């Protein structure tokens, strides 16, 4: 189990994280979300041992995670960290990068392992290509494959699909997270993308202004968001009275106290997101068809 106990950390005199505590069980998938500058990447670097921690403690099982003042080489064998800078070797091939830290004593096993990893990240056809000739998204997939090559106990992923286009992102995400869950590798993902969370994360931690604003399962946080920040991560929402109401929770009815004026319709695939005005307040709701500007409709809660 990973235990983070009352950690406070800052650069210079400004705290980036303040009194942060949480735990993650072996094999669990934790998503860390928050606005830019909320401390997501800093938290991952602390978990990896990239910075010295002056207040609080981080433990993986019985091992205290310490920073560069204590470790000549940053990091631990049981942790892998994939940052937004991939740190690959550009002048050797994809398969050589992936197999760099695998044993050469059993060449057949090594080759099979590399092929397995390339299949997970969908790079089988690029095995012989030098990394310098790859796109940013392909390099990110090489970095992911190399990180899981020796099945670490815990993997830290900082925006792991940020460079990968939508044509590959969905299937890659499914394959990678399925692999980590099958191998019982603890996974902590810092992300801005709800697609990295819903359907995959066991728990979700929300950072805001250096502190933990919420920590629960994605289902509970989605169903009952306590703050606008949490709701905004998942979908378009409205503040009606003291309630947070998602756009999909409103429906068009014949009569109600909420009569809105349509200002814009946005095509979203299976529905339109309608922007409207009610008492000088913007209200978003979903509807099956486009609605003309200045159309008046009544809304009610589903």
For the segment 32-42, the average pLDDT, to the nearest whole number, is 94
* pLDDT of 103: 87
Do 15 and 140 lie in one domain? The reply is yes
Where is the domain boundary, 223, 249, 264? 223
* pLDDT of 86: 80
Do 167 and 254 lie in one domain? The reply is no
* pLDDT of 167: 87
Residue 262 belongs to domain with CATH number: 2.40.50.140
30 domain residue, yes or no = yes
230 domain residue, yes or no = no
Give the count of alpha carbons within 13 A of 114, CB side only.
Answer: 23
Do 281 and 213 lie in one domain? The reply is no
Do 288 and 165 lie in one domain? The reply is no
Do 240 and 218 lie in one domain? The reply is no
Tokens of 52: 């010295």
39 domain residue, yes or no = yes
Q: Is the pLDDT of residue 101 over 90?
A: no
Q: Is the pLDDT of residue 85 over 90?
A: no
Do 113 and 176 lie in one domain? The reply is yes
Round the CA-based radius of gyration of the chain to a whole number and report it.
23
Instruction: Tally Cβ neighbours within 10 Å of residue 226.
Output: 14
* pLDDT of 45: 96
Q: What confidence tens digit (pLDDT) does each residue in 255-278 have?
A: 999 999 999 999 999 999 999 999
* pLDDT of 104: 86
Do 206 and 274 lie in one domain? The reply is no
In whole angstroms, what is the distance from residue 245 CA to residue 240 CA? 7
Do 129 and 239 lie in one domain? The reply is no
Do 244 and 196 lie in one domain? The reply is no
Percent of the chain with pLDDT over 90: 85
Do 282 and 145 lie in one domain? The reply is no
229 domain residue, yes or no = no
* pLDDT of 241: 85
Q: What confidence tens digit (pLDDT) does each residue in 52-79 have?
A: 998 999 999 988 999 999 988 888 999 9
* pLDDT of 166: 86
169 domain residue, yes or no = yes
Q: What is the pTM of this model?
A: 0.92
Q: Is the pLDDT of residue 87 over 90?
A: no
Beta-strand (E) ranges in 100-202? 154-158, 186-190
Q: What confidence tens digit (pLDDT) does each residue in 116-129 have?
A: 999 999 999 999 99
Q: What confidence tens digit (pLDDT) does each residue in 188-239 have?
A: 999 999 999 999 999 999 999 999 999 999 999 999 999 999 999 999 999 9
Q: Is the pLDDT of residue 91 over 90?
A: yes
Do 213 and 239 lie in one domain? The reply is no
Pairing status of strand 154-158 against strand 186-190: parallel
Where is the domain boundary, 203, 223, 243? 223
Q: Is the pLDDT of residue 106 over 90?
A: no
**Residue 210 is part of which domain span?**
2-223
The count of domains in the chain is: 2
Q: In sequence order, what DSSP letters do the residues of 38-97 get, joined into one string?
A: SSHHHHHHHHHT-S--SEEEEEETTEEP--TTT-SSSS-TTEEEE-SS----TTSBHHHH
In whole angstroms, what is the distance from residue 299 CA to residue 296 CA? 10
Residue 63 belongs to domain with CATH number: 3.40.50.300
228 domain residue, yes or no = no
198 domain residue, yes or no = yes
* pLDDT of 296: 96
* pLDDT of 54: 85
**Average pLDDT of the chain, as a whole number:** 94
* pLDDT of 12: 80
In whole angstroms, what is the distance from residue 133 CA to residue 138 CA? 10
Angstrom distances, CA of residue 68 to CA of 59, 71, 72, 74, 170: 16, 5, 6, 6, 37
For the segment 150-178, the average pLDDT, to the nearest whole number, is 93
């Amino acid at each position: 189990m990973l235990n983070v106990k009352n950690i406070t950390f800052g650069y210079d005199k400004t705290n980036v994280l303040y009194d942060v505590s949480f735990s993650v069980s072996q094999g669990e998938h934790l998503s860390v979300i928050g606005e830019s500058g909320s401390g997501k990447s800093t938290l991952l670097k602390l978990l990896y041992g990239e910075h010295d921690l002056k207040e609080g403690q981080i433990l993986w099982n019985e091992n205290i995670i310490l920073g560069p003042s204590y470790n000549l080489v940053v990091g631990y064998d049981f942790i892998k960290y994939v940052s937004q800078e991939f740190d690959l070797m550009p002048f050797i091939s994809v398969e050589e990068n992936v197999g760099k830290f695998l044993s050469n004593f059993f060449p057949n096993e090594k080759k099979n392992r590399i092929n397995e990893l390339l299949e997970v990240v969908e790079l089988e056809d690029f095995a012989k290509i030098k990394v310098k000739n790859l796109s940013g998204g392909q390099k990110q997939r090489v970095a992911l494959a190399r990180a899981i090559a020796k099945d670490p106990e815990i993997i830290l992923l900082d925006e792991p699909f940020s460079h990968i286009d939508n044509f590959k992102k969905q299937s890659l995400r499914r394959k990678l997270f399925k692999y980590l869950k099958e191998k019982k590798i603890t996974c902590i993902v810092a992300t801005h993308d709800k697609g990295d969370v819903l359907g995959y994360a066991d728990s979700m931690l929300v950072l805001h202004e250096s502190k933990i604003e919420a920590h629960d399962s994605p289902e509970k946080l989605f169903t009952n968001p306590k703050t606008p920040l949490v709701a905004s991560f998942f979908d378009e929402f409205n503040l009606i009275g003291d309630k947070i109401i998602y756009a999909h929770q409103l429906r068009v009815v014949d009569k109600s106290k909420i009569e809105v004026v349509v200002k814009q319709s946005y095509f979203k695939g299976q529905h339109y997101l309608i922007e409207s005005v009610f008492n000088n307040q913007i209200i978003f709701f979903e509807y099956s068809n486009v609605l003309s500007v200045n159309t008046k409709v009544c809304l009610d809660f589903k």
